Amino acid sequence: MAVLNMYFIYSCILGLISCSVFLRVNYELKMSIMTAALVGYNTVFLHTHAHVLDSYSQVLFERPGIWKDLKTMGSVSLSIFFVTLLVLGRQNEYYCRLDFLWKNKFKKEREEIETMENLNRVLLENVLPAHVAEHFLARSLKNEDLYHQSYACVCVMFASIPDFKEFYTESDVNKEGLECLRLLNEIIADFDDLLSKPKFSGVEKIKTIGSTYMAATGLSAVPSQEHAQEPERQYTHIGTMVEFAFALGAKLTAINKHSFNDFKLRVGMNHGPVIAGVIGAQKPQYDIWGNTVNVASRMDSTGVLDKIQVTEETSLILQTLGYTCTCRGIINVKGKGELKTYFVSTEMSGSLSQSNLAA
């Protein structure tokens, strides 16, 4: 009987412990349950079953060195365990809340970092071609690292609006030239919109120099792919550049209608090997260099309004692609001597341009 009395106290203590082991239960709820259990256990010890514990206390009375009052011993033991479990429960809930706050803070910081990375990616892809931006985002580069790539066949185009120099004036009417720049910005922005069309996904805008728009095709992520293609498909990007030039002319014509101007586009094109690279660390600039670029620029500067002037080599490629080229003759090109150039026929450019704008 005495042993059963001690087991009864131990069972009550075990009941309190069992309430505290549920770590995810709210602290106030656990405290309420343990308080109700403590009151119930003390009621049993001190009132309803006090006579059972009193009979065992008489047995212990003859033993020296131990607490004789079993009721008080049980009540004090339960109270000590009660307070200890409350402290442990409160401490556990504090650390759980702290862990929750740290996880939320970490999640928010991670989302901010991902947002910043995506923003940096978008900004970088607006400055550099997509495959070049991936090159810089994929690895940690030092300022002295230089990105460069050689290409065997790239088509370069310069499209300029010579009339804009005469159009630009600084007066009170156009707010010291601000309205002229606003119109030029609208023209360049409309030209840029064409790059988002699937048909012109292979066209890379290089830069604008005043009212001159420079773009190129054939700047693939893997230059070795050019040699692996069939000869007919190897030069299809040159045809894409011609279509893009037609689309620029149609876009400029549409702008002329609502701005009441009569701007004309002058285009020069050439194809051949170039070197592409990024210069600058804080403000990187993607550009291409080579004799191909210089000749393309000369095709523009020596060209004719509303015409696309190309070199003889480029005209031969375009004729294999189905375009009609008319020989202009031999002209003197600064730094290159005399070159035989051709005009790409614009007889179909009207219908082609409209289809390009709608594509």
Using only the alpha carbons of the chain, give its radius of gyration. Answer: 42
Beta bridge partner(s), residue 213: 159, 208
Residues that are catalytic: 298, 334
Token readout for 119 is 């923003």
